[in-house]
Amino acid sequence: MTMIGLEIHCQLTNLNSKLFCSCKANYREFEINENICPVCMGLPGSLPRLNQDAVKKATLIAMALNCTTPEKIAFFRKNYFYPDSPKNFQITQLNIYGDTSVGGAGSIMVGDKKIRITRIQLEEDPGRLIYEGSSSKNQITLVDYNRAGTPLVEIVTEPDFETPKEVRDFLNILSDILANLGVADPSLEGAMRADANVSIEGGKKVEIKNIGSFHDLEKAVHFEITRQESLHSRDIDIIQETRHWDDQRKITVSSRSKEEDLDYRYFLEGDIPWITIDPEIRKKLQIEMPESINSKKERYISKYNIPSQVADVLSSDKYYSDLFEDAHTESNAKEVANIITTELMGLVDTREKREVSKFTFIHLKELADAIQSGKVSRNSSKNALHEILKSGKDLSTVITELDLGNVSDESELSGIITLVISEESQAVEETKSNPQTINYLVGKVMQKTKGKADPTLTLDILKKQIGV
């Protein structure tokens, strides 16, 4: 049986400051090496100052993934030399003196399958390396430490996956959960990364590191299974090793890491006492925890009678579900859901589009209400939506400027209908024997009004004028 396990690293991008200092957690907006201080640069004499909210957010993740959460957490040093690590050790967590990492054993469901979580740990992200120079002779490494110290949560799973598809489904669900918790924005470049370990029946465990994206992770796992099966079929032993993903060639390559690099000499970080998280605080976190995706989905179905598939997409994306929550009322909920899933999703499907759009939940609410009250037709509402996304203007302005408002003035509409009746005498006659034909006449009125006629009113006047 193929066994795949994952180590997912997720930056807590929604925090203000780094894990051990007051530099900014979201380093992306800075010039090179401008988001650094003596602490995250590990300067002589500096000491780590643990971020309270980082511990809380990490605990929240542990709770959301049904993990045990200990009363005390401890930090350890992982010792290794690398230029992206300013102290040449990483402050991380381990469970060598009891369960002292932020999360213990837990699980989440992926479809009908339970994926077990081994543990969750809070740790610091290293800096970033850029390699410069072409020939190996003049090559040097450039380091940007802006990222160093960014709070990172590592989620370790048991080897419960059997196929690359299960891995992908799990990662999708996990990203949605983390986004829904409001602790991280998985759509930010580099905010979520993962390593995998893969073993096939009768083979040893192989670790794959350096996978840049979730998309590549699925490919890397797939490649690795194929590679191992091919070795196995030729009776070649699969050795326990670490391989890295070659992004260019889309293959895994054996890492020639030396044996001596593997001894991390873990020991307790004396600069950070053990942190007690008393039951009261854990209870408070549990209460403040945002509603889960599953619970949202069920509520949308049962309370608003929203179709299951619509509720599914709506609840799993935090951006859309936040919009829904803010915009909906008892009466317009279905319409709001409808606008989001049929129109909006096609227009703001990427992080960039969401960032540039000037769309707010108020627009959404007004639009849904206007459709329901007949102020705009569903047809015109699409044009209005496009314009709002572009300009951010409010709905009534957009309706006036684009002349999208429904013709709901009875005398104006009567005039147009009289004209249609005179032009379509044959159809009018037919209506008397075949009532369905009236829809044809409604369509004609719509044509004349460019879709802006209030459909209910149109029908009423038509019936009155024809006398059916």
Nearer to other proteins, 274 or 286 (CB): 274
> How many chain residues are in contact with other proteins, going by CB under 8 A?
74
Decide whether 101 or 321 has the Cβ nearer to other proteins: 101
Shortest separation between residue 124's beta carbon and other proteins, angstroms:
14
Q: Does 173 bind other proteins (CB under 8 A)?
A: no
Site string for other proteins, 439-468 (x = CB under 8 A): ------------------------------
390 token code pair: 């572009």
308: contact with other proteins by CB under 8 A: no
Q: Does 273 bind other proteins (CB under 8 A)?
A: yes
Q: Pick the closer one to other proteins by CB: 14 or 383.
A: 14
Give the pair of three-digit tokens for residue 450.
């460019």
Which residue stretch of 10-18, 302-310, 322-330, 411-419 sits at the interface with other proteins (rule: CB under 8 A)? 10-18
Residue 38 touching other proteins (CB under 8 A): yes
Q: Please, which residue, 55 or 198, has the CB nearer to other proteins?
A: 55
Distance from chain centroid for Cα 134? 37
188 touches other proteins (CB under 8 A): no
Whichever of 261 and 352 has its CB closer to other proteins, that residue is 261
86 or 451: CB nearest other proteins: 86
SS3 assignment for 347-410: HCCCHHHHHHCCCCHHHHHHHHHHHHCCCCCHHHHHHHHHHHHHHCCCHHHHHHHHCCCCECCH
C-alpha angle 232-258-43 in degrees, rounded to nearest 5: 135
Compare residues 279 and 467 and give the one whose CB is closer to other proteins: 279
Give the binding range for other proteins (CB under 8 A) out of 23-31, 208-216, 224-232, 425-433: 23-31
SS3 187: coil
The DSSP bridge pattern shows strands 251-254 and 72-73 to be unpaired
What is the longest distance spanned by two Cα atoms in the chain? Answer: 95
Binding of residue 260 to other proteins (CB under 8 A) = yes
Question: Which position among 173, 251, 275, 446 is part of the footprint of other proteins (CB under 8 A)?
Answer: 275
Q: How far is the CB of 52 from other proteins (least distance, A)?
A: 4
Residues in 130-149 at the binding interface with other proteins, rule: CB under 8 A: 130-131, 133, 136-145
CB nearer other proteins, residue 76 or residue 161: 76
Token pair, residue 144, equals 């940007």
Q: Which residues of 312-339 are buried (b: 16+ CB within 10 A; e: fewer)?
A: bebbbbbbbbebbeebbeeebbbbbbbb
Residues with Cβ < 8 Å from 106, sequence gap 6 or more? 62, 65, 66, 67, 68, 116, 117, 120
> Could you tell me if 198 and 228 are in contact, meaning their C-beta atoms sit under 8 angstroms apart?
yes
Residue 53 binding other proteins, by CB under 8 A: yes
**Residue 36 interacts with other proteins (CB under 8 A): yes or no:** yes
Instruction: Point out which span in 118-126, 256-264, 301-309, 363-371 binds other proteins (CB under 8 A).
Output: 256-264
CA 183/CA 12 separation, integer angstroms: 6
> At 438, is the secondary structure helix, strand, or coil?
helix
Told to check if 72 binds other proteins by CB under 8 A, we report yes
Which residue, among 304, 298, 363, has the nearest Cα to 329 in the 3D structure? Answer: 304
Among 29, 263, 330, 355, binds other proteins (CB under 8 A): 263
Footprint of other proteins on residues 85-124 (CB under 8 A)?
A: 86-89, 97
Q: How many whole angstroms separate alpha carbon 382 and alpha carbon 380? A: 5
Pick the closer one to other proteins by CB: 35 or 321: 35
- Based on the shown chain and the rule CB under 8 A, indicate whether residue 50 belongs to the binding site for other proteins: yes
